[in-house]
Amino acid sequence: MISVAYIGPSGDWANRLECLPELTRCNPSEAGTAPGGGGHRRALVAIEQALGCNIVFLRLGEADKAEPAKFDREECLSRLSPGTVLVDLDGEANWWSEEAELRLKQHDVLFISATTIRDLGSEVSTVLISGHQDAYAKALPILQAIDSVVYCGPRLVHAHAVALMNQTMYLTGRLLNLESVAMGFRAGLALADMVEAINLSSGRSRISEKLLPVLYKDGRTSEQSLTSAIGDLNRMIDLGTALGVPMPLTTHTRSLLTMGANMVGAGADLNDMHTVIGSMAGILVGKQPVEVVPSHRSELFDRDVSSTTQAPIIGYVGLGTMGAALARQALSVASELYVFDVSQARVRQLVEMGAFAASDILTLARKCDVIMLCVPTSKDVQNILFGERGIADELRTGKIVVDQTTGSPFDTRMMAEKLRERGVALIDAPVTGGPKGAAEGTLVTLCGGDPTAYAVVEPLLQRMGGKVSYFGPSGSGQAAKLVKNALGASNRIIVYESLALASKIGLRLDLLDHVIERSSGWTAGFRRVIAAIRTGKPTADVKLAWYVKDLVLVSQMASAFCVPMSLANTVRARVEAAQNVLGANVNVDALAALFKIPLTYSEEKNETI
């Protein structure tokens, strides 16, 4: 018959194990009471009984430092019976090292390490186990009786490394979301609108799904203390240091949490970081947003756009990877589509599909009711509109320009004002979803500009595929896109940091996918990167130069609104340095190489990452 003991204080693990029949339980801290007292004697007797069990769960923490009767771990080791399985619940304790495991083997004692992980807002946890496989097999029936169990690998550190990876991605992601939403607030965006756009994009995460929708609502949820969160990041950084894995983004997250703990004082928890980040961004008075921006949904989102006026003549300028994909969609909504690009080969591809080639942009502007642009930068948009041989003077009153470039919200507002003086509206309408999203009809188009002009182009954009969202005045669509891009890029980098550690320590890709997918640290970036490693296919058809460009725009927007965005700026610096090494024209997935993450994986061999 298997006998089970728990040596440790009251708490989470003690409560879990209470379901086991005839559990021997003792608290070593009671051994530190006055020698000769009743509590002292009972504790020593209980410890003696516990050390005679087949499976011993040990969670000491600081108990081994109790005075005056110090709990002697070494003595504990020597008194365990041959064949005993020792389950370490203290993962961070240096004493339980692989050197200790060798000493245990000399006594014929098997050693496994255990920790738990759970999804955000869930009461259901998963027990992560690592260590000797025979010990795991012996303890498995007991473990399965208390929770679902995942075996992480033969090294004692594996289980805690997985848990620390998840916690690192969760804590960093949480602060990244707070930073990005704060910048959006300063740009005049509504929280509900930002949350919807983020959750339809690569910026999506457990935090954006479950935390952001209730941000700044009354009441505090039960959260981890900042002291505990900082401790988790300390262990992650220490592990990275031992393995030679730099962790600048994780380190910066620790610094922000430490700042928060110092500012708030005793009892600070993760709820308080909402106030800390909000105050740093200048959006809070007390603990509430300075100005609650109303959502535009009730005004515009629910209108019936199924019945529309006659299809307009559309002109499309800029037929790069994204522009060509959007122009192909425009073919289905325009009575006639005129296209222009500096590459005649790109123009011919669209002409073969039914478009007309415009001889120049001035001709295109004269012929078309709606002129759509998708070019590299806002400077290119300015040149098309107001540069030498720009089209602004050819645009008659009532025409609409739709800018689908990802650009500066400030440049967009300036251009919109200059066009408004000519009786022409400019709608900023950058998209998320890439060429694949355009082809599959799953784009998200983020719009800003005059509401009347938006009402004209909204049905066109909807029929071009996907969700169309209105965020407010001119530049608001660009601001929303940059909020989303800040999260998407930052999520990617923290995933790379974590996977670099996983690669060094020998964790299996299928294990990480299984565990993180169901945990608080999950992000769309994690899913994309894992899929790319597994299949060898790129996460996106994006050059590193465009990634850098967007992160620079994020930095400029944050600076203009006096929002620190310190995590996103750490990411920008990391990516800019990568561009200097890798070159501007490589795919963004080349970033993985700088973290020494393999780009191929064999399911058949069940390889480690």
Number of domains observed in the structure of the chain:
3
Burial of 292 (0-12, 13-18, 19+ CB in 10 A): exposed
Examine the domain organization and report whether 335 and 393 are in the same domain: yes
Examine the domain organization and report whether 178 and 269 are in the same domain: yes
Examine the domain organization and report whether 430 and 310 are in the same domain: yes
pLDDT digits (tens, 9 = 90+) for 349-396: 999 999 999 999 999 999 999 999 999 999 999 999 999 999 999 999
How far, rounded to the nearest angstrom, does the alpha carbon of residue 264 sit from its chain's CA centroid? 26
Sequence-distant (6+) residues with CB within 8 A of 101 are 111, 131, 132, 156
Candidates 83, 82, 90; CA nearest to 73 is 90
In whole angstroms, give the CA distance from residue 73 to residue 47: 12
Residue 37 has pLDDT above 50, yes or no: no
Answer for the pair 229, 171: CB distance below 8 angstroms, yes or no: yes
Looking at the chain, the number of H-run helices and the number of E-run strands are 24, 18
Please count the CA atoms within 13 angstroms of the CA of 544 that sit on its side-chain side. 21
The reply to whether 600 falls in a domain is: no
Residue with tokens 């610096």: 573
Dihedral sign of CA atoms 348, 352, 353, 355 in order: positive
> What is the average pLDDT across 297-304?
47
What are the structure tokens assigned to 38, written together? 């009743």
The reply to whether 517 falls in a domain is: yes
CATH code for position 424: 3.40.50.720
Q: Tell me, what's the pLDDT at 282?
A: 87
Examine the domain organization and report whether 373 and 305 are in the same domain: yes
**Residue 57: DSSP 8-state:** E
Residue 399 annotated in active site: no
Q: Which amino acid, residue 274?
A: H
Among residues 138, 399, 467, 481, the one annotated as catalytic is: 481
Range of the domain at 146: 4-155
Please count the CA atoms within 13 angstroms of the CA of 381 that sit on its side-chain side. 31
The reply to whether 433 falls in a domain is: yes
Domain-ending residue, one of 426, 447, 470: 470
pLDDT digits (tens, 9 = 90+) for 139-178: 999 998 888 999 999 988 899 999 999 999 999 999 999 9
What are the structure tokens assigned to 101, written together? 């495991």
pLDDT digits (tens, 9 = 90+) for 238-286: 999 999 999 999 999 999 999 999 999 999 999 999 989 999 998 864 5
Examine the domain organization and report whether 497 and 550 are in the same domain: yes
Residue 83 has pLDDT above 90, yes or no: no
In whole angstroms, give the CA distance from residue 166 to residue 206: 11
In whole angstroms, give the CA distance from residue 109 to residue 11: 26
